[in-house]
Amino acid sequence: MKAYQLIKNTVLALTLVPTFHLCLFVYWMVIHGQRQRYRKQHPNALPRLIWGDHPLMNNQYWSEAMKKKGYTSETLMKWHMRYQNRSTFDRFTDTLVVLGIPRLDRTLRNWFLPQMAFTYAIKRADIFHHHFYGGFLSACWLRPFEAQLLHWMGAKVVITGVGGDLYRISKIRNQSVKTGFLINYPQRVKEEARVERNVNYWSLKADCVILGFQIDDMPRWDVMPFNMITIDTESIQPKQRYSSANGQNGVVKVMHAPNHRGIKGTEFIIEAVKNLQVEGLKVELLLLEGVQNQEVLRLMREEADILVEQLYGAYALTAIEGFATGLPVVGNLQEGENALPIFRRFSYLSECPMLSATPENITHQLRSLVTQPRLRQILGKASRAYGEKYHSAKAAHILFENVYDKIWWHKEVDLLTLYHPILGTTFQQQTTIQHPLVNNLLPTEYHE
């Protein structure tokens, strides 16, 4: 029976695979002609957008932001993470239909899902937004030709680096971040050649590369926000009331919501809260893991007084959600010194109201926030303003429309100075975020 099945599968592969790809290439020729006619008939139409296929929340936030600006935009993912569900994104590749015959469509998805996803996308989109993981063809033999195929079809590619897609363990300069990756992702050492291949390919072939603080040994970046993540600040209500608790007259609640403890320094945060409790301060740790995003946001708004995101370098989505809810946020903006001065000099990091802490001083920094409710409120209100300025839908409009002006409409746009504190014009016309921190540290008068 096993021999029969092997023979059957071999015959199927030898007949189905070449036949499918022959039909596919003919169909792509038809799509190519359709796209050319569409461009001629609609020369001033906004480019249609697609985001995928790695299921990061950033993609849905970006897509929704651009929809508000009038763009046709869609997310197409191949799976979802445990804190997400099927409604998180617009569409998943395992629902794609070719023939409308369930059994045959299942067979095609089993054998040719990447090609089906690419075909679905190229019929509907003009600008593809991927990470360095690759695009819809990254899991099939056409991977080395995806950018070339997109350009042949008249499409453009924007790459946004997010972390795991570009980090090569041996090239991470922040040794704490490197250690955290080795704790949580030891297998990534074996994947370094693949990551290097992807980084080099898309750095060379993409029409635009957007990087934040993760620039270690990257060959290229065209625009440099410190962090390009966007969230819907309009739908996230900020805190209505700040607690007057100071650890003596009431409990101060510290939230920490790690996706992976090793790269967040979770053990040091737990220890710091214990140290403060031993000192006699009333402090409670809200440690959230595997909690749905909406519940995290509710707890930020209604329960938490302080958010500690991480202790090794920069900030990510959880911190930005903390900004949006008006929480004082703690993270590490001291280490990784090869990158941080660049973003203070050429971008907007100096406006960031995040209080910086390391594993060595987290107890001291938390004590300052726990015992000074007025300071928490000052930093919390600055956080909300910062989130609205640099991480809102409006901020996404500015970022991506400048990118599209450059790569789609071929306008003269200097993307590298978009966030420059002197040369940049768009963001500098807005109010500068005011807060008491100096290089993200508290001045002497705020120390407890």
- Each domain of the chain, given as residue ranges in start order, spans 252-391+438-446
pLDDT at 304: 97
Please state the rounded mean pLDDT for residues 317-329.
96
Rama region for 154: left / alpha / beta (φ>0; ψ in -120 to 50; rest): left
Read off the pLDDT of residues 97-136 as tens digits, 9 standing for 90 and up. 877 778 877 888 888 999 999 999 999 999 999 999 999 9
For 441, residues 6+ apart whose C-beta sits below 8 A from its C-beta are 334, 355, 356
pTM reported for the whole predicted model: 0.89
Please state the rounded mean pLDDT for residues 225-253.
93
pLDDT at 362: 97
- The span from the CA of 271 to the CA of 265, in Å, is 10
pLDDT band at 338; cut points 50, 70, 90: low
Residue pair 114/21 in contact (Cβ under 8 Å)? The answer is no
CATH number of this structure's domain 252-391+438-446, picked from the four choices 3.40.50.2000, 3.40.718.10, 1.20.140.10, 3.40.50.1820: 3.40.50.2000
- The span from the CA of 313 to the CA of 333, in Å, is 6
Residue 396 has pLDDT above 90, yes or no: yes
